[in-house]
Amino acid sequence: MNIANLMLQRTVAHGHSQAIRAALGASSLRTVLPIMGEAILVSVLGTALGLAIAALCLRWANANVMRPEWFGFITHVSIQPLAVAYCATASALVMFFAASVGLWRARNQHAVRELVTGGRGGQTVASGRLSKALVILQATLATFLLIYSFLFALSEIIINRAPLGFSYDHVLTATIHPPRSQYPDTSALQALGQRVLDRLRAQPGIVAAGIMNGSPLASAVTLKFQRGAAPPFAAQYQFVTPDAFQTLRISLLAGRGFNAGDRAGAEPVAIVNTSFQKKYFTAGALDHRLDLILHHVGLPTQRLRIVGEVNDVHVWGPGSPPPPIVYVPMAQVPNGLMDVLRQYGDLHILARTSGAPENYLGDLKSVLGRVAPGLALLHLRPLAGRVNEVFAANRMLTMIFGFIAFVALALSSLGLFAVVSTSATARTREWGVRASLGASPARLFWAVLRIGLIQA
């Protein structure tokens, strides 16, 4: 629309010269050539400038946005020759169309009037109306995009501030991958984890520590469960040590948490989250039995008794609903199932600190070095870093939409400025007459300002 306005105004500006050429016998081609030449020049320069800006934007995007965790295998984007050809063709067509509209409007005007006025009249009433209509339409679209972008950014800000269901401040996290040759079954893994946790709790500044088989912000393994004679259903399955909930400050809403009595050989127990309770136990889940179907790993069904309920954790981020989750004690995971779980993830060590987690990186390394000297400690970092990665995509979208809204507003403002400027320039003779008749500068200024305000 800015281009159409530009070509319309340029055609009107050339109206007097075109009328003189036509009166002197110039052919239609000679009359059209100046306008089409301007259209080609603007098209070439506009395409080149647009592609240059796009290249800079893509360079920034490749450095800051194109991450494997966001886009998978796509890690680099560039301007392809087909895109260049498309932009050049689209720009040329738009310019040709805009110039044609301007020429068509100009040819419908009376050449005699152009010659009589000597080119002093500026835009005609009809061309002025068309120009103003284009600017009003563009301002409307830009305002819509601005409001939509603002609402989208506001929703993203609200989502970013939404609680995740656990506290990640002052939490240090790391993963370990115990080899099967040294830790073949659940009891060996449980013993290793217990030694690590005991040493961690003895360190000054470590408030609580726990182990789970997945990150709080990652999906756990999905298994099949059954309640009585009801059809089987799927839910996430995650094992934890007794202090894992306390470490993450996941609230216990009903029942009890896990304790040292929930060991191998004792009654299998489970804790479910609120989403699980609402979906499958509308009247409350405490003390109900739940069958864990393990036929696919060659094990008999394990009957669990639900002893507690905890709040939901948004494992997929704050913008997604929390999935139903069943938590079980690490010591009660069947050996065959533990073999399957080890294929999908490592053991996650969590430690809540009284100070900045970065100050305790060495403590966690030294503890693992004393307990299991040959075991590598992976992904050692504060849990807040992982949370920031989850929110990074939302923050980037907010920035992008804000930039798009700014560009739309800038383009609309430029179009409005061009029309008001051209209209005011075209009425210079009128302003001079008004001033000579006693109009004050303030009144003339308000007359020009009113043109823009009415269109805005």
pLDDT tens per residue across span 338-382: 998 988 888 999 999 998 999 999 989 999 889 988 888 888 999
Q: For residue 440, name the pLDDT band (cuts at 50, 70, 90).
A: confident
More confident residue, 80 or 406: 80
Q: Which residue has the higher pLDDT, 171 or 316?
A: 171
- Confidence label for 173 from pLDDT (cuts 50, 70 and 90): very high
Q: Do 383 and 168 meet the contact criterion of CB atoms below 8 Å apart?
A: yes
Bridge partners of 233, per DSSP, are 225
Q: How far is 99 from 111, CA to CA, in rounded Å? A: 19
pLDDT band at 231 (very low <50, low <70, confident <90, very high): very high
Q: How many CB atoms lie within 10 A of CB 427?
A: 20
Count CB neighbours of 401 within 10 A: 18
Within 8 A by CB and 6+ apart from 118, the residues are: 16
* pLDDT at residue 30, as a whole number: 72
Confidence band of 1 (pLDDT split at 50, 70, 90): low
Q: Per-residue pLDDT tens for 402-435?
A: 777 777 777 777 766 766 676 666 667 777 888 8
Q: Could you tell me the CA-to-CA distances from 82 to 53, 73, 79 in Å, in that order?
A: 17, 22, 8
Q: Is the pLDDT of residue 250 over 90?
A: yes
Residue 422 pLDDT: 65
Q: Report how far residue 57's alpha carbon sits from residue 64's, in angstroms, rounded to the nearest whole number.
A: 10
Q: Please, which pLDDT band fits residue 306 given cuts at 50, 70 and 90?
A: very high
> Rounded to whole angstroms, what are the CA distances from 249 to 153, 162, 167, 350?
30, 16, 6, 12
Res. 73: pLDDT tops 80: no
CA distances (Å), origin 64, targets 58, 153, 298, 393, 398: 10, 19, 47, 10, 14
What pLDDT is recorded for position 53?
87
Give the DSSP letter of residue 282.
T
**What is residue 57's predicted lDDT score, i.e. its pLDDT?**
85
Model pTM greater than 0.85?
Answer: no
Tally of residues, the chain: 456
Q: Does position 111 have pLDDT exceeding 70, yes or no?
A: no
Q: What is the mean pLDDT of residues 259-274?
A: 94
Quote the tokens at residue 107.
């040819």
Q: Name residues whose C-beta falls within 8 Å of residue 383's C-beta, 6 or more positions apart in sequence.
A: 168, 171, 172, 173, 216, 350, 357
User: What pLDDT does 253 receive?
Assistant: 95
pLDDT, tens digit, 9 for 90 and up, residues 192-204: 999 999 999 999 9
Q: How confident is the model at residue 79 (pLDDT cuts 50, 70, 90)?
A: confident
Task: Specify the DSSP class assigned to residue 355.
Answer: S
Q: Give the pLDDT confidence score for residue 284 in this predicted structure.
A: 86
Mean pLDDT computed over every residue of the chain: 81
Range in 57-61, 190-194, 264-268, 308-312 with the lowest mean pLDDT:
57-61
pLDDT at 96: 77
Share of the chain above pLDDT 70, in %: 80
272 contact partners, CB below 8 Å, separation of at least 6: 281, 285, 306, 308, 309, 310, 324, 325, 326, 327
Higher pLDDT, 215 or 266: 266
Q: What is the pLDDT of residue 88?
A: 85
> CA dist 198 to 176, 367, 369, Å?
16, 10, 14
